[in-house]
Structure 1
Amino acid sequence: MTPAVQALKRAKIDYQLLYYEHDANADSFGGEAAAKLNLDPHAMYKTLIACDEQNPRNMVVAIVPVAGHLDLKKLAKAAGIKKMKMADPALAEKTTGYIKGGISPIGQKKRLPTFLDESAEALEHIYVSGGKRGLTLEIAPKPVMTLLNGKFVPIAAA
Structure 2
Amino acid sequence: MAMTTKATEFLTRKGIPFSVHAYEYAPDGGKIGLQAAQAIGENPEAVLKTLMVKVDRKQPVCVIIPSNHKLDLKALAALFGGRNARMIAPEEAQAMTGFQVGGISPFGQTEQAPVVIAEQAMKLDHIYVNAGDRGLVVKIAPADAQRAVDAKVDLISTG
Q: Is TM-score (shorter-chain normalized) higher than 0.5?
A: yes
- Partners of 1:24 and 1:87 in 2: how far apart? 19
SS in 1 for 2:128: strand
Aligned to 1:88: 89
Alignment length (residue pairs):
156
* Moved >4 Å (runs of 4+): none
Query: What whole-Å deviation, never above 9, does each CA across 1:92-136 have from its counterpart, x for those lacking one?
Result: 110001111111111111111110000111111100111111101
Which ranges in structure 1 are unaligned for 5 or more consecutive residues? none
Aligned-partner Cα distance in 1 for 2:38–2:57: 37
Percent identity, aligned pairs only, is 35
User: Which residues in structure 2 correspond to 1:7-156 (within 5 Å)?
Assistant: 7-55=10-58, 58-156=59-157
One-letter identity of the residue aligned with 2:25? H
Give a deviation string over 1:10-67, Cα, whole Å, max 9, x none. 1111101111121232111111110111110011100100003443xx2101111001
| TM-score normalised per structure 2 | 0.94
Structure-1 separation of matches of 2:28 and 2:64: 23
Aligned to 1:6: 9
Task: Return 5+ residue gaps in structure 2 as ranges.
Answer: none
Contact 2:56/2:77 (8 A) holds in 1: no
In the superposition, the TM-score normalised over structure 1's length comes to 0.94
**Given residue 76 of structure 2, which amino acid in structure 1 is its aligned partner?**
L
In 1, Cα distance between equivalents of 2:24 and 2:116: 28
Structure 1 vs Structure 2 CA RMSD: 1.1
